[in-house]
Structure 1
């Protein structure tokens, strides 16, 4: 993927910073840098980091060690973010006893119920990290990036409301997203909104009429990513920043899926659907708008436009739109989604 060393340099710069800043905002630097390098904008990464990095804060220091027999007590405790980062650094970088895929397979099902934590940013960061490691170079900066993603997820672990009902639905994912009822009070932040969730259409379950064997999970998950990206093209005005994650969170799961044992695939699909549906419910507008017209611009050209725009969410959405466009070359909506992000989101 990257033979210039730019990505490793960027990751080393970013690992001196924490996963969050201003108390709870997510550090998108590693995710955006990986996407920029992957899609041919590596020469711009350090200049982008010079601008973006001004807002970031130093990495939190560890305090108390996360014990192997009491990690559950520390799960979801944001005060122990530094401890969780150190824990996964030991497992993956400084004192590894197993390959990174074995660590991932152990912790993925532990963390998956808390996929909504950090507004889904931790799982998205893990998805970018795994995509890099799949390229074959498992050097320290890339392993540490996976450690930061998993540590961030563990610290911000947040299950969706315990009484959330998954209502049997005959819809395919595109219709299911449009059928998701909005939360009643959309005046607060993401935590306030997600706490109001009471039900979601159960598209991911076998009761939806779209079930099948475990071998169908990758295609069904890709269908969800495609549908959420198309939904963004016509509904981004609900919240152009936050609705990005309805597409990028399930895409992160899709990127991790090939590295997981297949027995973990059905739960991964269900969690991806819950995350996408929850974000959709939290920021659903009153109705659709017309999709932006990208004209003859290719998905690659629209990614370049997002890179020049500079906002990290626009870059991530364009990165996912490229995946969708590759699966559906004749579909204009993935390109419309990438364009709409640059139109509605404030540039960096």
Structure 2
């Protein structure tokens, strides 16, 4: 299974739980459609030893957040299909999942709902699956506290409420033999204006996953690691296309990778296919006309220094991209310089938290 680069201490566990309790009174979105990134960012801050920053960071970020929306209608085991993808149920889906997690082990609930939710991996610019990835990592590494179980319910609920699939007639294009080359071969959408839903809706063809899914379930983790590694490298050279949105081409597949150890192995291959769709879809929506030279400073930067810079910078996307880059450096140390360069590019191009 995957290496970890840090672990929650007792004090940081308390900090994370306190932060999640604060956040569970807020909604998953603000200003109509922007995703609440705070649960993901505070989990990353705590995991990388920046727990002392969390509450002050929340004070700054939280000014933009809104209260949890009101209930629309109770979701049950009988009517959930009708409520899937219905944003009027943004407050109802977390209640549904909290009830399920209260009845059964959280991994059982996750395994039941993963294949139902996975086709909608691009929902809300992939933020729901990313939030699930952070929630699962916190539970696995830090223990099954009540706020962490509640966070998984909120994350799954957000995904269910915003569930959305790409157009079903997307044609597979021939793909080069490695994820990085395949990402470079992704065609840009014809009209790169408007929001991500408008852009994703234009996609008619994407390269097929390079090399297929050879090796069965046991190879899925390796496939995903290669995708995340190359997506982080792709960001280092292409982030200028949209430094915020292109973060998700790496963090979405990394969220799937984080969840794998807690899923039955027979569900792993579908995760690879969905992760590729998400990563390629984001690249199609926001790719620039040409790459730029990658930051040379990555070779002179250490992991601790890089995350310190991201934490001081404060933007939630920079924090999450650096968090993913550090994952890559841990399991593919030969690519650490490039991964750190991608993190530096995020800190350079994304506006810091105001």
Pairwise same-fold verdict (TM > 0.5): yes
CA RMSD of aligned residues (A): 1.1
What is the rounded CA distance, in whole Å, between the counterparts of 2:141 and 2:352 in structure 1? 31
Checking the alignment, whether the CA contact within 8 Å between 1:300 and 1:322 is kept in structure 2 is no
Aligned to 1:288: 291
Identify the residue that residue 110 of structure 1 maps to in structure 2. 116
Q: Among residues 95, 119, 134, which one is paired with 2:125 in the alignment?
A: 119
* CA positional deviation for 1:299: 2.3
- Where do residues 245-324 of structure 1 align in structure 2 (5 Å cutoff)? 245-294=248-297, 295-324=299-328
Which of 326, 333, 342 is the aligned partner of 1:329? Answer: 333
1:1-348 equivalences under 5 Å are: 1-4=8-11, 5-92=14-101, 96-135=102-141, 137-203=143-209, 208=211, 211-294=214-297, 295-331=299-335, 332-348=337-353
Aligned length: 342
Q: State whether residues 299 and 321 of structure 1, in contact with CA within 8 Å, keep that contact through their aligned partners in structure 2.
A: no
Instruction: Quickly say closer, same or farther: Cα 1:209–1:264, change in 2 above 3 A.
Output: closer
Could you tell me whether the CA contact under 8 Å between 1:173 and 1:223 is conserved in 2? yes
Which aligned segments of 4 or more residues in structure 1 are displaced greater than 3 angstroms? Answer: none
**CA deviation after TM superposition for structure 1 residue 187, in Å:** 1.2
TM-aligned CA deviation for residue 252 of structure 1:
0.2
User: What's the TM-score, normalizing by structure 2?
Assistant: 0.95
Structure 1, gaps ≥5 residues long: none
Question: TM-score of the superposition, structure 1-length normalised?
Answer: 0.96
Q: C-alpha separation between the residues in 2 aligned to 1:302 and 1:104? A: 33
SS at match of 1:200: strand
Q: Deviations over 1:155-205 (max 9, x none)?
A: 00000111112234242101000000010100111010000001111115x
Structure 2 gap segments, 5+ residues each = 1-7
Does the 8 Å CA contact 1:165/1:198 hold for their aligned counterparts?
yes
2:90–2:158 Cα contact (<8 Å) kept = yes
